[in-house]
Chains A and B, each alone.
Chain A
Amino acid sequence: MFELIGIPPQALFGQLLLGVINGAFYAMLSLGLAIIFGLLNIINFAHGAQYMLGALVSWMLLDYLGGSYWWALLLAPVTVGVSGVILERVLISRLYHLDHLYGLLLTFGLALIIQGLARNYYGISGLPYAIPPELSGGQNLGFMFLPNYRGWVVIASLVVCLATWFVIEKTRFGAYLRAATENPTLVGAFGINVPRMITLTYGFGVALAAFAGVLAAPIYSVNPNMGADIIIVVFAVVVIGGMGSILGSIVTGFGLGIVEGLARVFYPEGSAMMIFVIMAIVLLVKPTGLFGRTA
């Protein structure tokens, strides 16, 4: 039936899968940005660099220590998350009493430094990172071929996104987090340690970016610029979904990945700007974003 509109099904499903994969990364990254923005009120411009660090740490772990992909999946988010905790304590926390703009400038500067250092030491040609042997090969689904690793990325990102959503929306810690996002002063006056919660939240958001970086390493080779490339799109995703909305960033991330994939089939010339066109339209019609609360 697809031949009717002149598109072979292999191409259509191939692009759709690519869209879902990209969407998985958009979702994980915009989720972290949304959580951080919600509680810290800063736009974490270092997010792309921290995603890249996740991939780079995986590569270093393998190359210098022989640590497998599975170790990287655990250790890279922890390492990068701890660096985020230190960053928040030492630098970012000094800016909370100032305008948002300072947080943005600080994290933007940090991103440039991290990416600059990575370029300096590792060049820009990209470091190859092999698919772990357990996940090589693929499945023939009849209408398309699904590489195992890509299936794994979709499942892993869905699980991580939904687990994050669950913790924030359904647990006691999540209730503290939502309450502190609305009124940190009152939450503190109830006896809750809000500064510590802010630090842990930043660490978690950053760890999530690094986790995405590990998942990305075998797909897009490890490259100092990989974060800078994707983060621009992710910011557009966050704007479309609505700044600070948890479910919004997950749904919008996957949705826009798919839309982008379809655009590559039906209108390849415009696929790269598709998300930005949608962003412009959403901003015109609903400036708080699709899932944003209207004040």
Chain B
Amino acid sequence: MSEEALATAPKSAETSAPLLAVRGLEAWYGESHVLHGIDIDVRRGEVVTLLGRNGAGKTTTLKSIMGILPKRKGSVVFEGKELMHLPARWIARAGIAFCPEERGIFSSLSVQENLMLPPKVKPGGLSVEHIFTLFPNLKERLSSQGTKLSGGEQQMLAIGRILRTGANLLLLDEPTEGLAPVIVQQIGRTIAQLKQQGFTIVLVEQNFHFASSVADRHYIVEQGETVDMIENSDLERNIGKLHAYLGV
């Protein structure tokens, strides 16, 4: 079968193949070798977390999938297409969207401009009205400078703006970091709703109680490698192991 034919293989084959398959991913910051072997499978419609200590390489993993790090190797296959050699803008156009740890709200743009910034890459994104029902706070602040929002509102804006684009795989880097409990809950509810809408999500989390409330599976990252995978339903039985990994 030609590559063309493989890409348009029958639906049954597509649903059994993961939406995102990461194999032997390695990455460098300059000379420093940070990722040594990341293997992740994410099926369509799943919420999968990356758990691990500070500095384990979770953020670097998301950035490598997104194509932001110039020096990387291994394989990242999304919807049957190898992304490894592509620049970030083409990976975005393939349907992957990234919400960075530092949120990346632009201070020279208004809330409205921040929200409308990412271009549509595919049909099927949420409407702006729909985003306002998820995050009503944003609607009231549209003309404010992006960085004048509170930390929680900035996080909502950072998530909200990538929902419009039609991207179906969302990479969220610590969306709850440093936020008040009620906002963490709101973001948890949002992630559950997005999952219902059919979004596939890779979530980096330090807060593993939060992670267990939204995710289907958890990958453990340690010193730049995925060392374990735990089903959320098996979490109770593996709690001791997990505590050892995370050092809590």
Contacts and interface: CB of A to CB of B under 8 A. Distances in A.
Interface of A: 172, 175-176, 178-179, 181-183, 185-194
B109 A179 contact: yes
A179 B89 CA distance: 15
Contacts of B87: 188
A189 B106 contact: no
B92 A190 contact: yes
Interface residues of B, number: 26
Given A175-B113, A185-B68, A185-B88, A190 B108 contact: no
A178 B91 CA distance: 22
B88 A189 contact: yes
Given A190-B117, A191-B119, A191-B165, 13 more contacts: A175-B117, A179-B106, A183-B104, A186-B104, A188-B87, A189-B66, A189-B67, A189-B88, A189-B91, A189-B98, A190-B165, A191-B118, A192-B89
A188 B118 CA distance: 10
B121 interface: yes
Interface of B: 66-68, 87-93, 97-98, 100, 104, 106-109, 113, 116-119, 121, 162, 165
Contacts of A194: 89
Contact of A182 (B89, B91, B108, B116): B108
A144 to B, nearest CB: 41
A30 B88 CA distance: 33
Given A175-B113, A176-B117, A186-B100, A193 B108 contact: no
Contact of A188 (B88, B113, B121): B88
Contacts of B113: 175
A252 B247 CA distance: 57
Contacts of A181: 108
A107 B179 CA distance: 47
A292 to B, nearest CB: 13
B89 A188 contact: yes
5 contacts: A178-B109, A185-B88, A189-B91, A192-B119, A194-B89
A97 to B, nearest CB: 9
A189 B68 contact: yes
Contacts of B162: 190
Contacts of A188: 68, 87-89, 92
Contacts of A179: 106, 108-109, 117
Nearest to B118: A190
B116 A175 contact: yes
B106 A182 contact: yes
The 7 closest A-B pairs by CB, nearest first: A191-B92, A190-B118, A178-B108, A175-B113, A189-B88, A186-B104, A179-B106
A233 to B, nearest CB: 27
Contacts of A183: 104, 106
A249 B115 CA distance: 28
Contacts of B117: 175-176, 179, 187, 190
Contacts of A185: 68, 88
A187 B89 CA distance: 8
Nearest to A187: B117
Contacts of B107: 182
Contacts of A193: 89
A183 B90 CA distance: 18
A13 B115 CA distance: 49
Nearest to B94: A191
Nearest to A38: B108
B106 A178 contact: yes
A248 to B, nearest CB: 13
A191 B93 contact: yes
Nearest to B69: A185
A190 B119 CA distance: 7
A176 B162 CA distance: 15
Given A175-B117, A176-B117, A189 B108 contact: no
Contacts of A172: 116
A249 to B, nearest CB: 15
A194 B117 CA distance: 13
Nearest to A183: B104
B120 to A, nearest CB: 9
